[in-house]
């Protein structure tokens, strides 16, 4: 089952910018992921469309369950929730000062997260990229546990930023195509139904 969102009856002048505007006005759109350093909430997609409820994710274990239970859906979102779930855990726990120990701990957690949805390509790809970040950070001369944690958290945060930017670009491209190639787009109001990461 795919999560579906509906956008209806926007004036033609706003269609081209609608996806950018919606991201800016959080009261107008559901955010699947709410993140700030050390804190993660996900929209429980099992409760849609009747209830808008956010679950707190405090650890990689919480992220694993959210993915396994399908409370978070969509290939990019699954990968981001896994990456950020571990980032939140690392940010809020007392870490070893030894770089190698933090690296091993985080890689074990990434491998565990992949088991939540073994067929999710984006999840496995994110885990592979983040493992490389951890290995590179730990291999630096004089690296500490904090350095490894910081490299991981920054890389996970960049994945979120990149994903949001990709989704905005998808929406903008689609809006431009609609305006140029459909009668409704050329003449006035229209409805757009989106799914997955374009919503």
The DSSP element (H or E) to which 121 belongs, if any, is helix 121-139
Q: Strands of 54-57's sheet, edge to edge?
A: 33-36, 39-43, 54-57
Give the CA angle between residues 4, 8, 9 to the nearest 5°. Answer: 165
d(CA 45, CA 54): 9
User: Residue 130: which of 102, 170, 94, 95 has the closest Cα?
Assistant: 102
pLDDT in single tens digits along all 199 residues of the chain:
444 443 334 343 333 333 333 334 334 466 889 999 999 999 999 998 888 999 999 999 999 999 999 999 888 999 999 999 999 999 999 999 999 999 999 999 999 999 999 999 999 999 999 999 999 999 999 999 999 999 999 999 999 999 888 888 888 888 888 888 888 888 877 777 766 654 4
For 128, other C-beta atoms within 10 Å of its C-beta total: 11
Distance of CA 8 to the CA centre of its chain: 25
User: Residue 15: which of 169, 178, 196, 166 has the closest Cα?
Assistant: 178
- Encode pLDDT of 148-199 as tens digits: 999 999 999 999 999 888 888 888 888 888 888 888 888 877 777 766 654 4
Q: Does domain 4-198 have CATH number 3.50.50.60?
A: no
Asked whether 23 and 164 are in contact (CB, 8 A), the reply is yes
In the chain, where the domains are located: 4-198
Between the alpha carbon of residue 57 and those of residues 35, 37, 44, 98, 178, the distances in Å are 10, 12, 11, 26, 37
- Encode pLDDT of 173-187 as tens digits: 888 888 888 888 888
**What stretches of the chain adopt beta strand conformation (E)?**
4-10, 33-36, 39-43, 54-57, 190-195
């Amino acid at each position: 089952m795919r999560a579906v969102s509906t956008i209806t009856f926007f004036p033609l002048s706003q269609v081209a910018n609608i996806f950018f505007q919606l991201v800016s006005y959080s009261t107008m759109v559901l955010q699947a992921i709410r993140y700030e350093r050390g804190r993660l909430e996900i929209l429980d997609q099992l409760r849609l469309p009747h209830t808008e409820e956010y679950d707190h994710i405090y650890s990689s274990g919480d992220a694993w369950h959210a993915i396994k239970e399908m409370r978070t859906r969509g290939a990019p979102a699954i990968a981001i929730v896994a990456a950020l779930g571990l980032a939140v855990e690392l940010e809020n726990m007392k870490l070893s000062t030894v770089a190698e120990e933090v690296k091993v701990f985080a890689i074990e957690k990434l491998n565990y997260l992949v088991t939540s949805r073994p067929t999710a390509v984006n999840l496995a790809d994110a885990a592979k990229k983040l493992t490389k970040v951890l290995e590179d950070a730990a291999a630096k001369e004089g690296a500490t546990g904090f350095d490894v944690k910081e490299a991981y958290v920054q890389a996970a945060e960049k994945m979120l930023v990149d994903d949001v930017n990709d989704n905005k670009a998808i929406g903008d491209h689609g809006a431009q195509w609609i305006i140029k190639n459909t009668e409704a787009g050329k003449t006035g109001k229209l409805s757009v139904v989106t799914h997955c990461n374009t919503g």
